[in-house]
Every structure is written in C-alpha cells, then in structure tokens.
Structure 1
Amino acid sequence: MSKSSIDFDVIVPIYNCEDYLERCLHSLITSRNNFINIILVDDGSTDKSGEIADKYAAMYSNVSVIHKENGGLSSARNAGLASIKGTYFTFVDPDDWVSKNYFTSVAEELSTHEVDILMVPYSRIYSDIKLDTFVFSNKISIFDEVKTRDIVMRRLYGVINSELNNPLTVDNLSTAWAKFYKTDKFSEIKFTAKSKIYSEDLWFNINCFLRAKSSEYFNKPKYYYFKENENSIVHTYNANMLDQYKRLYSQMHDYIIEYELDEKFLKALNNRIVINELIILRNIVMSNKNSFFKYRMIRNVLSDPMYANAYKKFSFDKLPQNYRFFYKCCKYRLSAITYLMLVVGEQLKTKIKQ
C-alpha cells in the first residue's frame, strides 16, 4: 500500500466540551491534514460545542458535522462510523489532542506494514506533569494473526503473571482512541451503550482484534490524553456500574467458550474482575453522596458473590505490597479499612499522579 493511497477518517464525539474542543480541533487541522477527513459528532450539546464544530466545518473542507440528539458516547461514535469512507478510521476525544506528525507518521508506517489495526502510545497529561504510556514497551512490535489473538487480545482481557506488578495498567490498551482500524474490516462493528455494559471501548476492541489478521504497536506518534477534565464521565457517579461490569464479564467469558480461547484468557479475565473492583469502589468514594451511603455501598460491592469466586482463583504474589494489602482487605470484606484506604488514596492522587 502506497502512502498516497492511505486516508483517514477521524471521528470526534462531542458533548459539552467548549472549554477544550478548539485545542483538539486545532491539533487535527495542523497535523498535515491533506489526507484526513474529520467527522465531528455533536451529541446534543447544550453549550457552545456545536457552534464551535460548525465554525470549523465552515472554515475547512475536510471537516463535517453531524448534529444529533443526546445518546451517549457509543451512540455518537456509531453515528460517525456510519459516515466513514477512508482506508482507516480512528477516534479522538474532544478534550484530547494529537502530535503534529500523528497522521503522517502513521501513514508512512502503514505504507510499509499494512496491518489491520495499528496501535500508538499516548501520554497522560496533568496540569503539572506528563506521563508516557507504552503498552508493549517503547519499541515497534508487529503481530501476525496468531500473536494478535494470543498476545494483544489476551492483554485486552487482563493482566497475568509479571504484568500484575503494575495492576493499574490493566486498561492501558482498552481505549478506542490511539488506534487505527482498517475500514473494510471493521466498519460494521459498533459500540455497545454503557447502559448495557461498562467499558464500551474494551468490548469494541475485543470484537475488532478477534477478527484482525494482523496488528502493530507503533512507537512514533503521540496521542495526548487529558486527565484533568472534571466534566469527564469518569468523574460521574454511576449506580449501575457493578451490573454493567458483570454483563461485560459475562460476554467476555462467552467469547472464551465460543472461540475456544486459551486458558490464559480465563486467568486474565479473573484478574481483571479483581483489579477492576477498585474502579467501582473509587466511583463510590468520589461521589457527592454522604459517608454512610458510601460505606454501605462499599460493603455491598465487597459482599458480591462474583468477587468471592474471583478471589479464590487470584494470586496476590505479583502485586506490589500496597495493592496486595488493599485487595486482601477487599477479599476479606474489611469494609471500614477499605473505605479509609480509598479516601486516603484519593487525597494522595492529588500529589501522586497515576
């Protein structure tokens, strides 16, 4: 595939992000954009986001806008997918941005290695620090069909063995952004609404990588992931999160059976169930509910039979000492200590970025 024959559809789902949107769009416009088509999906914004999108569409011929009623992130991305026509498609969240060589570097690499899915590293951006994230170390890695399933897709399922040394990296590969998908292979795969499952990005990627014949981790361009948007959905209390995770885990388990995946997938999924318990507990602690409510909800989560079963098959040996202590408190349902650790942990996160 020649570089000149490669073009990209860039889907940007937009909802009430007027404070960040122009920064995102400026990075796309200035990224040597003669071979990118930018699809802005205004998901019923009530601020000036829709107006900003319209302004860029009027200024640049390769920018288009879809205005729709609010339906959530998955709905917005699916609306963008219905309009793609390029060689590859990718996603950029409206509070993030990309490096100047983002698309040119990817196009050059794909002209050399024509893979079904190309993954790139990203940086987590805080107000005072930038942390680089490399999922498969800081080197180029090319995976054939077998390795795409056994290495990349297994990593999507969860972390195992020495990967547990850094348990919070479990979702470093799960994002829909920082990836380029071949249109003729994956355009029909849609996102499932978060009201049905948690982590729609993860489920979308599992379905894509399951069908991929090849993939690559390319270490050159950068995606910049903004971590201090207080309006982000990750900062919103979700009373249904546990049930949404359960449905996700059930579907992941069904795939292991249906596609006869290796037993490492069962181990990875079990480890994910344990590690992601922290996400549910943090969502409770970060809410604006009163302390009694938070304690009661934490106790309910710790008592859920799913976790009792998962901890029976979970090994603590590879975990760092602080995480080992925390998850053992969870295992033995020590609600008060768990609650205290979560509160202290959130306070420390303002000083120690993760």
Structure 2
Amino acid sequence: MTENKKNKNEMLLVSVIVPIYNVEFYLNKCVDSILNQSYKNIEVVLVDDESPDSCGKMCDDYAALDGRIKVVHKKNGGLSDARNAGMKAATGDLITFVDSDDYISEDFVKILFEAMSENNADIAIANMKRTSRRDDKNTVTDWKVSNYKSEDALVCMLYGTPFGTSACGKLFKRKLFEGIEFPYGKFSEDLFTIYKTILKSRSITYIGFDGYFYYYRDEGSIVVSGYKKKHLEALDAVDDIEESVKGKGRFDNALSTQYINVIYDIAARNPLLSEFRNKRIQNNLKAHRMSVLKDSNAPKRLRGFAAISLLGNRIVLKVVVARNRRWKVQRRETKKR
C-alpha cells in the first residue's frame, strides 16, 4: 500500500450503529467498548427505540461527554427499524453494527479497517464469540486472513463457517446499503438483508480474531423466547436468497444447510408437536435433510439433526429441546463460576 493511499484510508469515518431497547444493565459495557476503540475516527449512533428503562437518559448522558456520539430517540419499531434509523443518521464512509447488550474488542474497528484496506475489500468480518464476561481476551495475534469473491462468501455464510448471517461483527462500505434496508417487523432480519450486501460486494475479507462478543441472556433472549408462528419468516428469508441465485447449482447444498438450520432453530424453541407438523416445515425438512446428511461441509449438529429427523417428529423435538436445555444449564453454571 502506498503512503498516500494509507493516509487517505486512515481518514475514513466509521459509523458504529447501536440499536437500544431495554438493556440498561448492559449498555455501559457496550458503549464504553466502542468509545475506547484504538481507531479513533468514529461516530457512534445510539438509537433509543423508545426504551422503557433508563437507556434514553443514559444515551443523552454519553452524548454530553463525547462529541462523537449522536443520539436518535424514536418511536418503538423494533431492531430493523432502529438500525435503519441509525443508518439515516450516520455520515461515515464505513458502517458497523453493535447490538446494545454486546461489546467489541479494543482493536475491533482498527483490525477490520486495516484488513479491508490492505485487501481492497468491501466487507471485513471478525469472529463473533459468545461470552460470560471472563473469556473476552484475545490470546492469538497471528490471525488467519481469508479473502472471498461475493458468491464464495455467500456459500460460506449459508454454511455458517467461518462466518454467519449476523449484521454484527462486520465492517461494511456504506455504499453497499444503498437501496437496502432491514425489513420492518420481520423475524430473522439479518438473513433477509446481509446476503444482499455480500452479493453487491466484489471482495470480502475474513479475519480470524475474536473481535465481537455477545452475551447469552436468559431473559428476553431469542434463543429461549419460545416458538411463535412468526419464526417461519426465516424460511421466507432463505426463499429470497434461493430466488436471488436461481439457476446457480453451486448454492444448492449450502441453501439446503440453511433451510435445515432454520428448522433446527424452530425445533429448539420447543414448539408443540402439532406446530412442528406445519406443512411448510415438513416439506422443507423432507426436501433438504438428505442433502445435508450427505454433505461433509454441513455442520455436524445439522447433519445429526437431519439423521434424527428420519425417526419422526416426536423424537427429533425431544432430542433437540433436551440438547438446548442442557446448553442453557451449562451457560448458567459458567456464569456462576
């Protein structure tokens, strides 16, 4: 990289968009991690989505202390609406999203920005790591860097390795969101949205460092929120992706994996047997499970789920729900230590 190009890149403003709702216990950790970034040329857009707790006042207090902070107070509209409002208020050349109960490492923006610049990428991606507040230190400094063309990156995203569908943990060139918004009121809003930015990209860089940390929360967590018919909207999102790459057989196996991943998520939410027998769930399960079962690139968890599903709905629900409950107990025990 030439010195002139490097100096020019160092001046780019990064907008960090934080949608906020009912997270007063977590908000300080989140915002402090952003303000303490080693890359200083940032603006922080705090979007108060009509939070019922003290978050709105906390946002205003932060803005009074640091001129890099913008606060948007808006009528409650959900995560997608808050992110869209944040993007409208943002003025940065680059955009990243941080959920308000999560936090980022001190060098998160710096490392992603440098990787994006050095590899001429449109998106740079870090690891997202589940945390119990004690395991948030990076112990590796020689991170693996991988570069992908857009379609290769989409295949990786659908498989969930080495990165997934979340809007978080990624640094985007702002231009990628021109004409793209998160869908209002939809479940699985990231799955509806992020694939579009990937397909608009020329190059995507993945850096294997733990830069983004997210909490598992019992209260209000999507993981433990129970089943609702609205969760079927995630299948709509995969349908949209399938339509966008129609006729390109290289995506078939990866799409099957994502369909099964959505159905696994539904099963883990403990629906009634009658709910899981929903025609759409069953049709997709039957259409894609053998492909996943035979696909060595599919995660073992999903290959196992596909195999167990052959034994019947009642058994598959019992196994997946039991596995999810064991995982939640393990998380609680980890927090106590």
The normalised TM-score by structure 2 is 0.85
Q: Specify the alignment match of 1:348 in structure 2.
A: 326
1:272 maps to 2:252? no
Answer yes or no: is 1:255 the counterpart of 2:266.
Answer: no
Name the residue aligned to 1:291: none
Distance 1:141 1:314, change over 3 A: closer
- How far is 1:191 from its partner? 0.7
Tell me if the contact between 1:95 and 1:226 (Cα under 8 Å) persists in the aligned partners.
Answer: yes
Shift of residue 217 of structure 1? 1.2
1:304 to 2:282 alignment: yes
Q: Alpha carbons of 1:322 and 1:40: their partners in 2 closer, same or farther (altered >3 Å)? A: closer
Question: 1:203–1:42: structure 2 CA closer, same or farther, 3 Å change rule?
Answer: same
Q: Tell me, what secondary structure is at the counterpart of 1:225?
A: strand
Among the aligned pairs, what percent are the same residue? 26
How far is 1:234 from its partner? Answer: 3.6
State the one-letter code of the partner of 2:202. K
Indicate if the aligned counterparts of 1:119 and 1:178 stay in contact, CA closer than 8 A.
yes
Distance 1:104 1:170, change over 3 A: closer
Q: CA RMSD in A?
A: 3.0
- 1:206 — aligned with what? 195
Distance 1:29 1:84 in 2: 16
Give the deviation of 1:206 after TM superposition.
0.7
Residue 115 (structure 1) shift: 1.7
Q: What's 2:316 paired with?
A: 338
Instruction: Give TM-score, length-normalised by structure 1.
Output: 0.81
The whole-number CA distance in structure 2 between the counterparts of 1:209 and 1:321 is 25
Q: Give the superposition deviation at 1:91.
A: 0.4
- Shift of residue 99, structure 1, vs aligned partner: 1.1
Give the Cα–Cα distance (whole angstroms) in 2 for the partners of residues 332 and 283 of structure 1: 19
How far 1:153 sits from its partner (Å)? Answer: 1.1
Q: Distance in 2 between matches of 1:351 and 1:131?
A: 24
- Between the aligned partners of 2:22 and 2:162, the Cα distance in structure 1 is 25
Inter-partner Cα distance in structure 2 for 1:28 and 1:284 = 36
| 1:23 and 2:42 are equivalent in the alignment | no
Which whole-Å CA distance do the structure 1 matches of 2:303 and 2:226 have between them?
A: 26
Cα deviation, residue 6, structure 1: 1.6
Query: Within 1, Cα distance between the matches of 2:165 and 2:281?
Result: 27
Contact 1:90–1:178 under 8 Å retained in 2 = yes
In structure 2, how many angstroms separate the alpha carbons of the residues matched to 1:93 and 1:204? 16
Equivalent residue for 2:334? none
User: Is the 8 Å Cα contact of residues 264 and 305 (structure 2) preserved in structure 1?
Assistant: no
For 1:189-220, what per-residue CA distance to the aligned partner results, in whole angstroms no more than 9, with x for missing partners?
Answer: 2111353xx42112221100111112211235
Match of 1:226 in 2: 215
- Deviation per residue, 1:154-186 (Å, 9 max, x gap): 222x23xxxxxxxxx469421101111111343
In structure 2, the gaps of 5 or more residues are 332-337
Residue type at the aligned position of 1:47: D
Give the C-alpha shift of residue 188 in structure 1: 3.4
Aligned counterpart in structure 2 of residue 90 of structure 1, from 88, 96, 99: 96
| Residue 110 of structure 2 is aligned to residue 104 of structure 1 | yes
Q: Is the 8 A contact 1:39 1:80 kept in 2?
A: yes
The answer to whether 1:140 aligns with 2:145 is yes
